[in-house]
Amino acid sequence: MFKDTPDRNDINNKFIKHDSSMLNQVYGTNDVTPYWIADMDFPIASPISDAMQQLVSRESYSYEFDSKTLFESISTWNKDRHDLDLNPDHFVQVPGVLSAIAMLIRDFTNEGEGVLIQTPVYHQFRRLIESAGRKAVNNPLNIENDRYVIDFEGFENKLKSGDVHMVLLCNPHNPVGRVWTKMELQRLVAIAKKYEILIISDEVHADIIFEGSSFTSMASLDYDNSLTIIGSPAKNFGLNSISNGYIYSDNQRLREKIKATSASMSLDHGNAFTMYATIAAYQQGKPWFDAFLSYTQQTRHWIVAFMASELPQVKTFVPEGTNQIWFDFTGLGLTSDRLKSLLTEQAKMALTPGTWFGESDENYYRMNFAAPLAQIQHSFELLKRSINNSK
C-alpha cells in the first residue's frame, strides 16, 4: 500500500532531484529541500517492485516484447479511469515522452517551420523545437480570475498567419496545473481543423486529476489530424527513469509514418523492466494509485488553505491536476534577487523559477508537492517566518 516515508539509502543520492552537486549548481547551495524536478518522493507500488524482482530472479534478459498485453493494459486503465476508448492496435511505443515529441517534430514539420506552444509551459518543449531547427511560436496563456486560460484569439491569429505547422499541447498543463476542459479542447480543435494543423498532445500527467475536474484526452475528440502521447506511468507511479512513451492515433497514415521512423532508428525495442513495470502498474496498481492521489490531493488542499490564511499576499494558482503548484510572489514587493535568496537561503526551498517555463516575470515559481506532507508543512512554516522577517 501507499507509504509516505521515503526509504533513503545510498543509491537515492544519485537522484537528480536530490543530488548535492546539482542543487549547488542550480541553487548555489545544497542546504535546500528539493521541490523542483517533477519526481515523487514516495516508494513505488509493491506490485511493480514484485514484477521487477521476479524479472531479476529469472536471471535471463533475452529479447522480449509483449506489445499485446502492454497496449491492452494501457487501454483498460484509460477506459476505467477516463472512460477513454483506445484501440490497442493503435499505439506506437518510443523510449520516452520527450523522445516522442522530438520524433514527431522531425516527422511532421520541416526545418524553419513553426511549432506553437503556450507559455508558461514545460521548458523542454522549446528546447526540443529549437534543437530540431524549428521555430517556437508562442501563444502565451492569459490569466482570468486567477486561473490560466487559452488565448483563443491569439491562437487563431497565429494559425491563420501560416507560421504554425504544428501545435504542441500540454494537457494537463505543466506548470500551471490546468486540466483543459472538453469545451476548451473542442474550441482549440475547431480552429486547428479550420487551418488543417496537426496537434500533438502531451498527456503525461493525465491521471493526476483532482476533485472537481475531469480529464479529456485529445484521443477522444475525433480529430483525425492529431497524435496523443498517452499518459505513461512515469508521473503517476513514480517511474520517471524507467518509463516509455506511448504515442496513440486512430489515423493509420500518421501511425505508419512514426512506426517507420522508429523502426529506422531501432527505437522500437522495449526494455523488459519498463514493460513489466508498466503492465504491473496498470493491471495491479489501482489501489496504490488511488491512495497516492488522495494523499496528494490532501497536500494540495493543505497548501492552498495555508497560503490563503497565512500568506495571502502570495498568489496561489490552485492546480486542477498535476503535482505542480504555481505561485506569484509579486505581492511581497521584493526584488528578484531578494526573493530568490529568501526562498533558497531562508525558507530553504528549491522551487523551479518560472522563467524556466518561458514566464518573463521573475516573481513566479513552481513547486512539485509530491513529497511527504510533514516535510511540506515544515517548509511552509519556514517560508512564512522568512516572509514575515523580511518586512
Among 159, 169, 170, 349, binds ligand PLP (CB under 6 A): 170
Q: How many residues bind ligand PLP (CB under 6 A)?
A: 13
| DSSP single-letter state for residue 28 | S
Pairing mode, if any, of strands 352-353 and 364-368?
antiparallel
Near ligand PLP in 205-234, by CB under 6 A = 234
Alpha carbon dihedral 324, 219, 267, 279, in 10-degree steps, equals 70
Among 115, 168, 204, 367, binds ligand PLP (CB under 6 A): 204
Conformational region of residue 215, where left means phi above 0, alpha means psi within -120 to 50, and beta covers everything else: beta
Cis amide leading into 95 (omega within 30): no
Among 47, 233, 245, 319, binds ligand PLP (CB under 6 A): 245
Taking CB under 6 A as the rule, does residue 371 contact ligand PLP?
no
Residue placing its CB nearer to ligand PLP in the complex, 16 or 374: 16
Q: How far, in Å, CA of 243 to CA of 98, rounded?
A: 11
Residue placing its CB nearer to ligand PLP in the complex, 118 or 174: 174
Q: How far is the CB of 325 from ligand PLP (least distance, A)?
A: 14
Stretch of 5-13, 237-245, 268-276, 278-286 lying at the interface with ligand PLP (CB under 6 A): 237-245
| DSSP single-letter state for residue 173 | B
Alpha carbon dihedral 171, 120, 148, 145, in 10-degree steps, equals 160
Q: How far is the CB of 173 from ligand PLP (least distance, A)?
A: 8
Q: How far is the CB of 167 from ligand PLP (least distance, A)?
A: 15
Q: How far is the CB of 151 from ligand PLP (least distance, A)?
A: 20
| DSSP single-letter state for residue 254 | H
The site string for ligand PLP over 77-116 (x = CB under 6 A, - otherwise) reads -------------------xxx------------------
Among 118, 228, 236, 243, binds ligand PLP (CB under 6 A): 243
All three cell numbers of 157, joined, read: 491569429
- Secondary element (H or E) of residue 147: strand 147-149
Q: How far is the CB of 322 from ligand PLP (least distance, A)?
A: 8
Q: How far is the CB of 184 from ligand PLP (least distance, A)?
A: 17
Among 41, 113, 156, 202, binds ligand PLP (CB under 6 A): 202
- CA-wise closest residue to 262 among 131, 105, 93, 52: 93
Q: How far, in Å, CA of 135 to CA of 112, rounded?
A: 6
Q: How many helices (H) and strands (E) does the chain have?
A: 13, 15
Taking CB under 6 A as the rule, does residue 185 contact ligand PLP?
no
List CB contacts of 355: < 8 A, sequence separation 6 or more.
Answer: 362, 364
Q: How far is the CB of 245 from ligand PLP (least distance, A)?
A: 6
Helical ranges in 83-163 per DSSP H: 97-108, 124-131, 152-160
Residues near ligand PLP, by CB under 6 A: 38, 96-98, 122, 170, 174, 202, 204, 234, 240, 243, 245
